[in-house]
Amino acid sequence: MTQTATSPSTTIISTLPHQDTPQANDRLLCIEENGTLKQLLAHSLFSQGAQGPTGPKGESGKDGKDATAPPLAIFPYYDDTPPDGYLFLQGQNFNASTYPLLAQKFPSGTLPDFRSRVARGAGNLIALGEVQEDAIQNISGSINAVTVGNPWQALGCFSEVQVYGDGYHRFPDATGAPQKITFDASLVARTADETRVKAIGVNFVIKAA
């Protein structure tokens, strides 16, 4: 037993063996006050009591570290109703007084229109906010004229449909002689009214505040 005098009426007794538990190294922290011995705490040198329940979580600040996204963040969104604090990017006007951050980025008061478009990382080929129309790289080819001793010669995107043997042919006597050559990409590739990538339709939203 160890006693530590703290006042004329109070003595802390800190090394009484704890006989109520099976661990030999347990101790009782007791206090003697006005001649009455009171148990304050049972403490184990090797064990720790269970953790208490976690308190309720506080509200997340709009622009603090717990915010879901910074203002002006753009996301694809799979619904026809934008979430709270977001606006669709569909070329519509917005209230500059209600959304001052948007007004700084879009002083015209009009949001960009992301419908039927894909987002592309800004860089040397496109600037931030620039709108690009669809395009393809140039397709080129040529067909050399027919001369005596030289048959058709197709280059590039064209190919020879029929090749005759060497020699001179009179067209009236050459059955099946080609009268013209056409180019039609749909014969060998998927085609549409636009040049596009494989895609899935979503709505784009922007964090407005």
Helix (H, G, I), strand (E, B) or coil at 125: coil
Flag whether pLDDT at 44 surpasses 50.
Answer: no
Mean pLDDT on 32-52: 57
Cα first-last separation, the chain: 65
For residue 200, what pLDDT is reported? 95
- Confidence class of residue 61 from pLDDT cuts 50, 70 and 90? low
Which DSSP category does 78 fall into? Answer: S
For residue 47, what pLDDT is reported? 54
Using only the alpha carbons of the chain, give its radius of gyration: 42
Domains defined along the chain, listed by start: 3-43 (no CATH), 69-119+201-209 (3.90.1340.10)
Give backbone dihedrals phi and psi of 173, rounded to 5 degrees, phi first: -100, -5
Q: Where does 60-151 show beta strands of DSSP type E?
A: 74-77, 86-88, 141-144
pLDDT tens-place string over residues 144-164: 766 665 666 777 777 766 555
Mean pLDDT on 27-39: 56
Percent of the chain whose predicted confidence (pLDDT) is above 90? 36
What is the spatial distance between Cα 153 and Cα 143, in angstroms, rounded to a whole number? 6
Which DSSP category does 19 fall into? Answer: T
Count the Cβ atoms, other than its own, within 10 Å of residue 146: 14
pTM, to two decimals: 0.54
For residue 79, what pLDDT is reported? 97
- Contact status, residue 14 vs residue 2, Cβ threshold 8 Å: yes
From residue 166, give the alpha-carbon distance in Å to each of 148, 150, 163, 199: 10, 8, 9, 50
- Confidence class of residue 43 from pLDDT cuts 50, 70 and 90? very low
For residue 142, what pLDDT is reported? 80
For residue 56, what pLDDT is reported? 83
Query: In terms of pLDDT, which residue wins out, 202 or 15?
Result: 202
